[in-house]
Amino acid sequence: MKFCVLGLGRFGYQVATRLAENGMEVLGVDSSETIVASIRDNITQAICMQVHDETSLRSIGVDEMDTVIVAMGENFAGSVLITALLKKKLHIPQVITRAVNEIHRDILLLIGADQIVLPEREVGNSLADNLSLPFRVISRITRNFSISQLKAPALFVGKTLKKIGLTENYRINCVGVRKENDIVPVSKDYIVQEDDLMIIAGSNKDLAHVIAL
């Protein structure tokens, strides 16, 4: 797949480099020569240019992309204009735009953005969750349902997941077990080890109950 990231600030830079690490073809665009020089060796192509109309977008091949991430959220008018051009004129299959507030988000949705990202709000929510909830949130799926990490309680050690009966007794599921920097899927026959970090999913209430064991 071909990706283009417009705006290589902290958010755009991270998105572009991670996409490249994941094997994607990535075009990064920014008006800062310093930023473009710093990322050039980490992505497929980096261009120093200020895109502001359909002609400038076409000139660098944005119309050939499968997905475009508009990461210049601070420039409210610019991100709205570019998003509209990408959807209405260039017909990009997927346009993901960074927003800085709810009003910005609503306008972007009205003009056709496929997905809106509010990174500051998401980071703030994640920090607040980890500070205030009695378990480490890996991902909050809904307001009341999360995926979390649990150090295996002594009550579980030496037993299979089937014998523990996570679903039947605790109304949670074990997604896998963390091994170094990876998560390994496990079956119901897996025997829980003392140092296991279990990745569990369930309602916040049920997760809190299991964490307290």
Q: How far is CA 32 from CA 36, 83, 170, in A?
A: 6, 21, 53
For residue 57 the two structure tokens come to: 């977008």
* pLDDT tens digit sequence for 13-33: 999 999 999 999 999 999 999
Mean pLDDT over 30-59 rounds to: 95
Using only the alpha carbons of the chain, give its radius of gyration. 22
Q: List the chain domain ranges.
A: 2-121, 133-211
Residue 139 confidence (pLDDT)? 81
SS (H, E, C) 93-132: CEEEEECCCHHHHHHHHHCCCCEEECHHHHHHHHHHHHHH
* pLDDT tens digit sequence for 146-177: 999 989 999 999 999 999 999 999 999 999 99
The model carries a pTM of: 0.71
pLDDT over threshold 90, residue 70 = yes
Q: What percent of the chain stands above pLDDT 70?
A: 100
Identify which of 126, 132, 104, 116 has the alpha carbon closest to the alpha carbon of residue 69. Answer: 116
State the architecture of 2-121 in CATH terms: 3-Layer(aba) Sandwich (3.40)
State the architecture of 133-211 in CATH terms: 2-Layer Sandwich (3.30)
Taken in order 210, 202, 199, 15, is the CA torsion positive or negative? Answer: negative
Residue 123 confidence (pLDDT)? 79
Q: Which amino acid is residue 64, in one-letter code? A: E
Residue 40 confidence (pLDDT)? 96
* pLDDT tens digit sequence for 107-150: 999 999 999 999 888 878 777 877 777 777 778 888 889 999 98
For residue 154 the two structure tokens come to: 């002594």
Measured CA to CA, the distance from residue 54 to residue 50 in angstroms comes to 12
